[in-house]
A and B are shown apart, each in its own frame.
Chain A
């Protein structure tokens, strides 16, 4: 079974802090994704990566950056957390570089910024 794990289920941070969200997948997938999920807005893509050290902006990249130093790990970074970044963050992975295949999601990290 594909497993996507996220470093924390719940996280509370203060405004202005630098926040790291980590995601690891164990199926050698080429593609990895970061989404945020908000009520009434569905899932919105922040960044994705189709290979090590490669990254592409999604629909809402402002205020975020990412890092992919190893194939299995994709990190989301909030450089200076703000209250409007309070949300559920979901990581996903899929095989086949830039091809439309099933995305496997982690359980999510609920981030609260105070």
Chain B
């Protein structure tokens, strides 16, 4: 099955700086790559996604890039704010299922 690796596991950034989270996947048949944000006490919520026919997608301060050849994708958050502090999960869709990375705990320091 699909194997998704996510790095780093924890990330501390100064407010206003950028944060980058990277994921790799193993199965070249994967064709959909969402990113979820999980705040304390809540279920994960989709923040952005990208499909395999697109190389980059941006939504305000959040962007995702996909390199199909290298089988990796990344989440970029610019101008980080305290409300960006959360756990972020990447995922890859294959064989009707999502496989998730282990998660990255992001802390934005004021």
Contacts and interface: CB of A to CB of B under 8 A. Distances in A.
Interface of A: 4, 35, 40-45, 48, 50, 56, 58-59, 90, 92, 98, 100, 102-103, 105-108
Given A105-B45, A107-B43, A42 B89 contact: yes
Given A98-B96, A100-B31, A42 B103 contact: yes
Given A4-B43, A103-B46, A59 B100 contact: no
Given A40-B102, A42-B6, A105-B36, 8 more contacts: A35-B100, A40-B9, A43-B44, A43-B100, A50-B96, A100-B93, A102-B49, A107-B41
Interface residues of B, number: 27
Contacts of B102: 40-42
A105 B31 contact: no
A5 B56 CA distance: 33
Nearest to B52: A100
Nearest to B2: A59
B59 to A, nearest CB: 13
Taking each of B6, B42, B97, which has the highest tally of chain A beta carbons within 10 Å of its own beta carbon?
Answer: B97
A64 B49 CA distance: 30
B29 to A, nearest CB: 12
A106 B32 CA distance: 22
